[in-house]
Amino acid sequence: MKILVTELMWEDGIEELRRLGYTVDYDMELSRKREELLKLLPDYDALIVRNETRVDSEFLDAAKKARVIGRLGVGLDNIDLEAAKERNMPVISAKNANATSVAEYVMAAMLDASRPLSDADADVRKGNWDRKFFTGYELNKRTLGLVGMGEIANRVARRAKAFGMNVIGYDPFVAPFDHILAETGVRPAETLDELLSESDFVSVHVPLTKSTKHMINKDKLSKMKRHAYVINSARGGIVHEQDLVDAVQSEKIAGAYLDVLEKEPVEQDSALAQVESIRLSPHIAGLTDEAQSRTAMLIAQEVDRVLNGGKSICAVV
C-alpha cells in the first residue's frame, strides 16, 4: 500500500511506515502545489498532512482509494470534518504528542516578558550596563489566565503552579470535577471577562471555530490590565490582530506573544511586525525535536492501525 505525505514529517515516522511495509512518497512542499497534489491523490491508500494542506470536498473526492487521513498535529481547522464524515473517511490527529512542548513555550513567553534576557544581552553588547531598566519582575504570585482548559492548558497550569503563580481558567465545557480543576488547583472563572480582568498573562488554548474566531477582540482586550500580555499558541484568528495592535500601541495592554497568525507567514508590511512589544514566532510552539518525533511516530502507528482494519485511538472522525 502507498502513503503520501504532503508536509513536514520527522524522518523516524517515515522510516517507521517503511519498516511496516508501506511505500511512502514524501514532498514537504506538496501542500503548496494544489493542482499537482489533486492529480496524485487517487493513487494513495493513506494521506498524511499537517496544517497547510486544505482537506476539503475537492481533496476528499480526489482521494478515491484513501482509507485514512493522518494529521501531524492537533489543529483541525484545515480539514472539513463534516465532508470527511459524509464520506466515511477516518481522520486521526496526534493527540497530546506536542502538549509538553506547547506548555513550555507558554512558560518561555512569560519568562521572556518578565526577564527579557535577549534584550539585556543586546543592550550590554552596545556598551551599556542598565541594571535598573532590566530589573524585571517575578512570576511568583502573578496570575495566569487560561482561555480553554484542555490537555495543553493542564500542563501549562502545572508548570505555572510550580513557579508559584495563581492560575485561573475559563472553559464552558469543563465540569467542576474535571482533572484540571480537581487535581491542578486552577480556579474557574465564571466569565471570560472575569478572567481577562484578573490576569497578568492570558494564554489561549481553544480551537479555531466560528464561536472562537476573534474572541479576543477590542472589547475583550479593553478588560485586561495595562501591564498584561496575551499569549497565543493555539490558532491564528482567535485573536483579532488589528485590535491587538491598537491595544498595544495605545498602551491598553503591555504586549503579546503570537506563535500563530491569521495569515502565515507574516507579511513584511503587516502592522504586527512593526510593533516591538508584539513578539512573533513562526508557528513553532509544538515543534521541538521531541514533539516532532512523538507526532510522527504516533501518526505512523495509528495510520497503520486503520489500514489493518483497526480503529484509531486518536480518531476525530
Instruction: Write out the three cell numbers for 84.
Output: 470527511
Catalytic residue among 50, 142, 283, 294: 283
Residue 19 has a CB neighbour count (10 Å cut-off) of 11
**Helix axis angle, 99-114 relative to 289-307, nearest 10°?**
160
Q: What Å distances lie between residue 29 and 32, 79, 210, 298, CA to CA? A: 6, 18, 29, 22
Alpha carbons 201 and 257: distance in angstroms, whole number: 10
**Active-site annotation holder among 82, 264, 267, 290:** 264
Q: Is 269 exposed, middle or buried (0-12, 13-18, 19+ CB in 10 A)?
A: exposed
CA distance 41 to 31: 12
Among 235, 240, 279, 294, the one annotated catalytic = 235
Is 235 an active-site residue?
A: yes
User: Please, what is the Cα angle at 137 between 135 and 143, to 5 degrees?
Assistant: 165
Q: How far apart are CA 188 and CA 181, in angstroms?
A: 7
The residues, ordered by sequence, that sit 6+ positions from 86 with a Cβ below 8 Å of its Cβ are none
Q: For this structure, is 264 an active site residue?
A: yes
Q: Which of 7, 60, 12 is nearest to 301 (CA)?
A: 12
Q: Which of 70, 72, 90, 94 is nearest to 81 (CA)?
A: 90
Catalytic residue at 214?
no
- Which residues are within 8 A (CB) of 230 and not within 5 positions of it... i.e. 6 or more apart? 202, 204, 216, 221, 224, 239, 244, 253, 255, 256, 257, 258
Angle between helix axes 99-114 and 151-162 (nearest 10 degrees) is 40
DSSP string, 175-210: -TTSHHHHTT-PEEPSSHHHHHHH-SEEEE-----T
Give the residue numbers marked as catalytic. Answer: 235, 264, 283
